[in-house]
Structure 1
Amino acid sequence: MAEGLMTIRFGTGEEQATVLATGPWVVADQLLAMEEWQADFTPGTQTVSRTMVWVRLPGLPLEYWDRAAIFEIVAAAGRPVELDGVSNEWRRIGYARVRVEVDAVTRI
């Protein structure tokens, strides 16, 4: 495809969903941004405008320790996607980590 772009074909839709849901990925020390194929996509004409980042909330007070409150806090950075496994299972109260989709064009 165009410079800096590649196409990845998955064996099943389940594999594709897993890969897209569990990023971001780092390959050769570079962040690999992945998006589902869009109709009428023309290689080399679009730029990456969104990315996934992990937002850490160390020292989070106990009164804010529920999914809705945590998502509301990180919504200032972007669209909350999921809590990491440790935070979701309340294995380490006081420290939360949330995967957030951010608009790379307006945030950076």
Structure 2
Amino acid sequence: MVILKKWHPMLILSKDSYFKTLVWVKLFNIPHEYWNEERLSHIARTVGKPLYADSLTESMKRISFARVCIEIDASCDLFDSFDLFMGDSSNPKLGENVEILVEYQWKQKI
């Protein structure tokens, strides 16, 4: 991995510890009503900090999965799925959980 730093006068060269990494993630089984920028971002935040979506995700030309570039904490365990609660948070009996499947296109070796 190569990490670049912006040069400035008096720059001190050192080996820093980095605990965050960028990973393209595929999110499967997203309900149709969650296919907008705000809700996809909310779903992606479960994995990490969403930065970008690919063009097919943004244009909704491919809805079998969403592909998002996410900044994740490299020291945390990666999970393969999580539950998305759909419904009224004030009355959980009116909602349901949907399992969102997660596929990482690359996993860093710690």
TM range (shorter): 0.5 to 0.7
> In structure 2, how many angstroms separate the alpha carbons of the residues matched to 1:67 and 1:81?
12
Higher percent of residues as strand: 2
1:37 and 2:27 matched: no
Q: Which has the larger radius of gyration?
A: 2
> Relative contact order, CA 8 A, sep 6+: which one is greater?
2
Q: CA deviation at 1:81?
A: 0.3
TM-score where L is the length of structure 2? 0.58
CA–CA separation in structure 1 for the residues paired with 2:63 and 2:57: 7
Counterparts of 1:104 and 1:93, CA distance in 2: 28
Please, which runs of 5 or more residues in structure 1 have no aligned partner?
1-31
| CA displacement at 1:101 relative to structure 2 | 0.7
- List runs of 5+ in structure 2 lacking aligned partners: 78-110
Q: Deviations over 1:59-94 (max 9, x none)?
A: 211011111111101112211101111101111123
Which of 40, 56, 59 aligns to 2:29? It is 59
| Aligned residues of 1:77 and 1:102 also touching (Cα < 8 A) | yes
Deviation at 1:38, TM superposition (A): 7.0
CA distance in 1, matches of 2:18, 2:72: 11
| Structure with the higher helix share, 1 or 2 | 1
Q: Which amino acid aligns with 2:26?
A: R
**Which residue in the other structure is 1:24 paired with?**
none
CA deviation after TM superposition for structure 1 residue 34, in Å: 3.0
Q: Determine the C-alpha separation between the residues in 2 that align with 1:78 and 1:33.
A: 21
Task: Give aligned-pair identity as a percent.
Answer: 28
**TM-align CA RMSD:** 2.0
Aligned length: 75
